[in-house]
Amino acid sequence: MNKICMFVIYAAIAVTLVGCGTTTINPNYTSTNPELMRIGGETPGNKEPELLQLGSYCLQVQDKWKADGKTPDGQMIWTKDSFRKVAPCK
């Protein structure tokens, strides 16, 4: 029993040392498409709903920006939600 306890203690110490010794991955707060995500600044403006004709039916597309957290240096992360629904064609 004593050997098992010592093994568990040594294993826990080894895991702790390995975990603290590895480098952490720095988060990347950039996007190749600024129409999907923006960092910092004020709330991006929302566009009016857009009506797309897709042959036999129409689709109403509405984009809304929302605050989705903060970066470690305190800048707001803005992400865009896209809402789509079938609408009557004009």
Can you give the pLDDT at residue 58? 92
Average model confidence (pLDDT) across the chain: 83
- C-alpha dihedral sign at 52, 53, 55, 59: positive
Task: Report the pLDDT value the prediction gives residue 21, as an integer from 0 to 100.
Answer: 64
- CB burial class (10 A; 0-12, 13-18, 19+) of residue 78? buried
* pLDDT, tens digit, 9 for 90 and up, residues 23-58: 666 767 677 777 788 888 888 888 899 999 988 899
For residues 86 and 83, give the distance between their C-alpha atoms in angstroms, rounded to a whole number: 11
The length of the chain, given as a count of residues: 90
Q: What pTM was computed for the model? A: 0.56
pLDDT computed for residue 72 by the predictor:
82
Say yes or no to pLDDT of 83 above 90.
yes
Q: How confident is the model over 67-72, as a mean pLDDT? A: 86
Q: In the chain, pLDDT over 70 holds for what percent of residues? A: 86
Strands in 58-70's sheet, in edge-to-edge order, are 37-39, 76-87, 58-70, 50-53
DSSP-derived 3-state class of residue 6 = helix
